Structure 1
Amino acid sequence: MADAVRPTRAELRVAARAQSRAERRGAAKAATRTALLGVALPSLAALGVAGAAAVTVRGDADRSTVAGPATEAAPAAAPDDGRSPDAAGGTDAERAARGEARPPLSAQEPVAAPTETAPAPAPVPERPKVSLPVELHGLSATYGEAGTHWTARHTGIDFPVQGGTPVMAVTDGTVRTQWNSAYGYMAIVKAPDGTETWYCHLRTYKVRKGQVKAGDVIAYSGSSGNSTGPHLHFEVRPDGGAPIDPLPWLLGQGLDPR
């Protein structure tokens, strides 16, 4: 047998390069197949899920058409956790525990903020039913006295006040004013019961006519008419008739002018 022919170095190099290229091509083809399988398999799986969902939806639509629009899906059953909750939620033991832990309702209610009580209005002083005609006490002449200044006995009482002293209505009533040669400027207050009180020898008036209350200033004292000096002549005439002694009448009203 003839000896085998050994390849030359050049041939070995050519063969090695060819084998290397073949191996690289094989590795590239294997990587390509792997990549294609990695993309294709999930896509096929997704298509399969979509197809199954479409079949399910179509089936549900068909069932809804047969059952009619009034049919409603039954609510999903609650998972059975071994307890028996009621409408209030939780088991009896849990509700009891919550009841024990819950504070009393009264403690939860907000406490109303204290409100400031408005101070009571000051009481209005009660108006007097009867008042003295002047603030000064003391008389210079009394009822029934005789003298050269009067044609008859004195028909009232005199208060020795200075000119310009405020003169007040003794009772509630209606006031009128007039001139008299003996009494000078005078004011007459007629009370609701008809009693008239006369205020004489005045200097000026504050109220000439109208309604007044006991204690209202109606005029100012003077010395007009038949007078020897400033003073107030005061008379009381029940029912507008003859004069009476003003002193007992005032005392009977709880007032003492002396």
Structure 2
Amino acid sequence: MAPEAAARPTRAELRLAAREQSRSQRRDAAKAATRTALLRVALPSVAALGVAAAAAVTVQGEADQQRAQAAGRVPEQTTAADAPDSAHTAAAQAAEQALAAGAADQASRGDARQPLAGTQGAPDAAGQPAAQAATTDPAPAPARPTLSMPVAQHGIGEAFGAAGTHWAKRHTGIDFPVDGGTQVMAVADGTIRTQWNASYGYMTILKTADGTEVWYCHLRSYKIRKGAVKAGDVIAFVGSSGNSTGPHLHLEIRPAGGGAPVDPLPWFLAQGLDPR
């Protein structure tokens, strides 16, 4: 009697078998990927642990050797390079490379600082570096005089108190015999005003801070008619107006408060000026 033929699997069974095979293949692939990743992480870690262990062994070996030398059991080694330990040799080489890199870095910084030493430039005529000479403060401008002569030319003609037919009593100021058109200057800081007088002619009156008045008489013309002036400012020009026999500057000093005129010569001398 012939044996029964083996039953053929159905389509459902075939699909189920295919899914099981695909799942098995995916599990095998995932396991292989996991092992590969673990090996990639573990191998560097093992290498690092090996280096650390070698360094620790080197340090422990050097400590044991020092203790043995102290006990007189092991001859002293002259240098670290004589030790046969390969890990120690590698550590020494790494240290030498680090020192060389540090020396190169210091040399680079030194080269960068070197141009700063030459920024001062060559010395100038006074022996100072050019950069320093350039920063020297300029000389201050000369200060304005606190007092000034009324005219540039020294010399006095008629003195204070002189008698004569040109004055009702006596001469009330001093005369500067200078040419017509000569510049007349303010003798001190103050304010000026101008006026006409039949005897004094065109005149300028300078009032100083303490109230003293300086009268300039027999003028030809004014340069400044009123306002504030400084010592040495040109305020008018010499003439021969009023009761005058020729070009000259008649100058009077009147104390504050409207008192009688005083001798201008002692006043000038007291101020450090000598018009003679």
Shorter-normalised TM range: 0.5 to 0.7
- TM-score, structure 2 as length reference: 0.61
Note the residue ranges of structure 2 that are not aligned, 5 or more in a row.
1-25, 52-85, 121-130
- TM-score, structure 1 as length reference: 0.65
Q: Does 1:216 align with 2:210?
A: no
Q: Does 1:174 align with 2:196?
A: no
Q: Does 1:117 align with 2:133?
A: yes
Displacement after TM superposition at 1:75 (Å): 8.4
Deviations 1:8-58 (A, max 9, x none): xxxxxxxxxxxxxxxxxxxxxxxxxxxxxxxxxxxxxxxxxxxxxx99974
Note the residue ranges of structure 1 that are not aligned, 5 or more in a row.
1-53
Deviations 1:122-161 (A, max 9, x none): 3312211111100111111010011000011111000011
Rounded Cα–Cα distance in structure 2 between residues aligned with 1:74 and 1:196: 108
Deviations 1:78-122 (A, max 9, x none): 585725659xx922x555566678659667523421136335423
Rounded Cα–Cα distance in structure 2 between residues aligned with 1:61 and 1:219: 112
Rounded Cα–Cα distance in structure 1 between residues aligned with 2:214 and 2:272: 17
Q: Provide the aligned length of Structure 1 versus Structure 2.
A: 197
Aligned to 2:219: 202
Aligned to 2:275: 257
Q: Which has the higher contact order (CA 8 A, sep 6+)?
A: 1
Aligned to 2:128: none
Residues 23-102 of structure 1 mapped to structure 2, 5 A cutoff: 58-59=30-31, 73=41, 76=44, 77=47, 80=51, 82-83=87-88, 90-91=94-95, 93-95=96-98
Q: Does 1:246 align with 2:269?
A: no
Rounded Cα–Cα distance in structure 2 between residues aligned with 1:251 and 1:75: 107
Rounded Cα–Cα distance in structure 1 between residues aligned with 2:183 and 2:227: 18
Higher fraction of helix: 2
Output the aligned Cα RMSD.
3.5
Displacement after TM superposition at 1:74 (Å): 6.4
Larger Rg: 1
Displacement after TM superposition at 1:252 (Å): 1.1
What is the aligned-residue identity percentage? 56
